[in-house]
Amino acid sequence: MVHILLHFIVPALFSFIFYRHMAIKAWLIMMATMIVDLDHLLATSIYYPNRCSIGFHPLHSYIAIIIYFILLSFPKARIVAIGLIIHIILDFIDCYAK
């Protein structure tokens, strides 16, 4: 449960610190990146509490993560990329913080 809350709180903090002039908009864009969790629907068992998403689901694969970092270098895609990377980091922490 804490994990899901962090998916809302961390991007919000990030938006207010780094995108103060457009915090709400930045936060909403980052929230939209949660769509990457749709790849869980492709898995045979949609939700598995102890399964690590990283490296398992297509949009949480290492190749996808590399693409998210490449996106950081494009100003127009930067907020999306930050949202995706925050998401991956949180999922990653969730894998090892049990």
- Other Cβ atoms less than 10 A from the Cβ of 76: the count is 7
Interface mask toward Zn ion for 42-61; x: CB under 5 A? -----------x--------
List of residues 6+ apart from 80 with CB closer than 8 A: 29, 30, 32, 33, 71
* 28 vs 89, beta carbon nearer Zn ion: 89
Task: Find the part of the chain contacting Zn ion (CB under 5 A) among 10-18, 25-33, 37-45, 64-72.
Answer: 37-45
Task: Find the part of the chain contacting Zn ion (CB under 5 A) among 23-31, 42-50, 65-73, 85-93.
Answer: 85-93
Task: Find the part of the chain contacting Zn ion (CB under 5 A) among 11-19, 23-31, 34-42, 61-69.
Answer: 34-42
Dihedral angle at the C-alpha atoms of 89, 91, 93, 98, nearest 10 degrees? 180
Give me the residue whose beta carbon is nearest to Zn ion.
Answer: 91
Q: Which residues bind Zn ion (CB under 5 A)?
A: 37, 53, 91
